[in-house]
Amino acid sequence: MDGILLDMQRNLVIGAVIAVILAAIAVPSLLDEGPDPVQPPTTPDAVASQSADTPVEPAVQALAQDSLRGPLTGERFYFALPDRFANGDPTNDTAGVEGGRREHGFDPTDSGFYHGGDLAGVTEQLDYLQGLGITAIWLTPVMTNQWVQGGQGQESASYHGYWITDFTSVDPHLGTDEDLATLVEEAHDRDLKVFLDIITNHTADVIDYEEGQYSYRPLGEAPYTPFLAPGDETVKVPDWLNDPQRYHNRGNSTFEGESSLYGDFFGLDDLATEQAEVVEGMIDIYSRWVDTGVDGFRIDTTKHVNIEFWEDFGPAILEYAAAQGNDDFFMFGEVYDANPVVMSSYTTTGRLPATLDFGFQSSATAYASGESAAALADFYAQDDWYTDADSNAYALPTFVGNHDMGRLSSFLQGPALIHDDLLERVEFGHTLMFLTRGQPVVYYGDEQGLIGRGGDKDARQDLFATQVEQYAEEELVLGEPGARDRFDTTAPLYQHLVELSALRQEHPALADGAQIHRGAAQGAGVFAFSRLLPQDGIEYLVAVNNDVTPAETTFTTFSADTQFEPVYGAAVGITSGSDMQVSIKVPPLSAVVYRATSAAPGVDAPLEIAITSAELTGRAEISAQVTTEGSAEGTAMADVGMPFVQVTFAARAVGAEQWQVLGTDDQPPFRVFPDAAALPEGQIELVAVAKPLSGPVASATTTSTVVRPP
C-alpha cells in the first residue's frame, strides 16, 4: 500500500515524500531498513567432509528430502481493485447515502474517488478471468472504510480500501457480505481461488492530537495527546479499536529508523502491534474473514509492523484455517523492499508463508529494459535467504507492476521509444515472470495494454467505460484510447497471457520445478536456466534474451546425448552432446523452452560432500559443496557434468538425539541462512545431507557455536 495515500488530512507536503518513495521503488534498487546480512565470523570456519561410500546413519538418512513445495506454490494470480474493475450493481455506487461526494465518496469523473466497481462486477467477469488462465483472484481490501479524508480542497476517497474503520463488514460501495459469499462460491465452482488484502498496521485516520502537531516524536519522548472528535468515539469496529491507548500516537512516519514501525503511515492511526490486546484482536478479526471461505490473505504494510507480531499472527491464522478444514490457506506480506535479506526475514523469523517479491519486480523490470542478464542471475542467487524448514523462494508471488508503483508498460516506455517495441517488451516481461520460480501476479488492465502516467491513481484506471478524462485520453500499448469497456479476450496481451498460463499449466516443472542457473550474459543477452521436478527427473531448458538482436548460448545440462523437444518459442528440437552441452539460439526479446525426452540420470560415482560454518550469530551462512568421487579437484555442482542433487541442512545441540531441519536447497551454491535465535545456544552439531535423483545419499557433519547477541 506504500504510495497509496496522496490526499490526507493535515497535509504535510506528503506529495513530495511520496514522489521520493515511488521513485526509489520504480528504479528497482530498494535496500532500506535491513539488518546486516551476515555477521562477520569471530572463529575460523568449521569444515567437514564425507563421501557416499561412508555409511550414513538412519537418523541422518531420514533427513534426505526434496526441496519444500507448500500447498500453494503453483498459482497464477490476478490482482484488481474492485472499484475499478467492473460495476455489477449501480445501486450501491453511493453506498446508499444521500448527498454529494464529500458524504459518500462517489465521483466517477475524479481519479481519487469511488467509480462504482464492486464485488458483483468481479463475479460477472469470472468467465473473462477464467479464460485468461489465472487460478487466483486477489482483491484490495473489501472491509468498510472511512469514505473521504482530507481537508477542504484536499479530499480523496477510500476507493482503494486501505482506510478501514469497520474490520468486520464489507464496504457498502462494494456490496454486501452476501455478495462476497457469492463471489467465493462461484469462483470456487470454476476452480478459482479468492484472496483478500488485509491490514493490521493501521486504521483510518480518526485520532487527532491535542498539540496540533504531527511530526514524528521518537520513543525517548512522550507521545502526542490523542483525542477523538465528537461523533468519532465509536466509529471503529470492533470496539477495542476505539481506544486511543491501542495506538502509538507518535505522529507521521519518516519511513526511516524506528518511525517505520511506530509512526503514522501518512497520517493513518498506527496500531501498537506490540501490545497483546492488539495481537489477539487482529487474530480474532481475521479468523472471522477466514470463515468467509476465502483462500488466503495478502497482508498490507507488513514491514511497518514489528516482527514479533508476525511470529504470533501468521501461525495462529494458519492453525485456525486448518481447524476449519482449509489446510491450504496461504498468506503473503507486502514488504516494500527489493532486498531479499530484508524480505526473507519475514518468512523465516517472522513465520509468514511468503512475501510479495519486490526483488523480482526490480530485477525483471531492469532486465526487460535491456540491462545485464548477469544482474538478473545475481538476484536469483540470493534465493537461499528464503530457505528454511517451512518456506522458500518458490512460494513468492512475483509481479512486474502494481497499484502503487505503476504498470510495467509505463516503466518500459523509455527503452521502447528507442526501439519502437513496447508491446514486445511488455510481453517479454510477463514471459519472464511465467517461466521463472515464484507465483506470477498479473495486474488488472495489463492484459488490455493499459499504460498510465505513473503510480498510485495514475495506475488505477477503470476497466469498464471510464468517465475520468485523463484515463480516456491515455495511450495504450496497442489499440485506441477512449471511454469503453475493456474486456477484450482477443487483445494481444490477453492472448499472450492465455498462452503463458496454458504453458505453465501443461508443464508443472515451469511452476514448481527446481530452477538451476545455467548461464547469463554480462550485458544484455541470454539468461539460461533449467527447471526440473525431482518426482520425474525431466529437465526443461529455458533461455530468455532481452537483447534487440538474436543471441546464441551454450551451456551444460544434466544429461548426455539426450534429445530435447521444443515446448515454447522454437520449432525444432536440440540434442545434448557427450559433454552434456547444448547450444540454443534465442530470438530478440523472446524465450525458448525445451523438454528432455527422458529423465536425467542419478549418480554413477559416489557423492562427496563438505559442510562449512563459522560461528553462528544473527543470520549466518551454513554452506555445503558437493562433488563426485574422482572428479577434478574443485569441481562442484555448478560445473560440467554434475548430476541434480538436493542438500538438506539440520542442527542439534551436542549430545541431543533429535535433528532440527533448517531447510533444503535444490540448486548450487547449497546454503541456508538460519536465524541463530531459533537454534540451541552454545555448541551445536550441523549436518548436510546430499540427495541425488537416484543412488545413495551422502552426508557430512561439523560443529559450530551459536552466540546470542549482547
The one catalytic residue among 334, 383, 462, 474:
334
CA distance 612 to 382: 18
Burial 661-677 (b: 16+ CB within 10 A, else e): bbbbbbbbbbbbbbbbe
Between the two ends of the chain, the Cα-to-Cα distance in Å is 35
Residue 150 sits at φ, ψ, to 5 deg, of: 110, 145
Amino acid symbol at 384: D
Q: Which of 445, 356, 370, 373 is nearest to 411 (CA)?
A: 370
Q: How many residues does the chain have?
A: 710
Could you tell me if 146 and 161 are in contact, meaning their C-beta atoms sit under 8 angstroms apart? no
Q: Are strands 143-145 and 164-170 parallel, antiparallel or unpaired?
A: antiparallel
Per-residue DSSP letter, 252: B
d(CA 696, CA 543): 32
CB atoms within 10 A of CB 310: 24
Instruction: Spell out the residues 6+ positions from residue 581 whose beta carbon is closer than 8 angstroms to its own.
Output: 554, 555, 556, 557, 640
**Interior CA angle at 554 toward 548 and 560, to 5°?**
145
Phi, psi of 109 (to 5 degrees): -95, -5
Query: b/e per residue, 607-633, with b = 16+ CB within 10 A?
Result: bbbbbbbbbbbbbbbbbbbbbbeebee
The cell for 527 is: 539468461
Rounded Cα–Cα distance for residues 679 and 313 (Å): 21
Dist. CA 663–CA 671, nearest whole Å: 9
Contacts of 78 (CB under 8 A, 6+ apart): 129, 132, 134, 136, 137, 138, 441, 442, 444
Rounded Cα distance between 641 and 306, Å, is 46
Torsion from C-alpha of 259, 336, 200, 248, nearest 10 degrees: 0
Which residues touch 377 (CB under 8 Å, ≥6 apart)? 517, 520, 527
AA identity, residue 617: T
Among residues 7, 75, 171, 300, which one is catalytic?
Answer: 300
Give the count of beta carbons closer than 10 Å to the beta carbon of residue 315.
14
Residues in Cβ contact with 597 at an 8 Å cutoff, skipping those fewer than 6 apart: 562, 563, 564, 565
Active site residue 300: yes
Is the previous residue joined to 481 through a cis bond, with omega within 30 degrees of 0? no
Q: Is 76 left (phi over 0), alpha (psi -120 to 50) or beta?
A: beta
Residues belonging to the active site: 300, 334
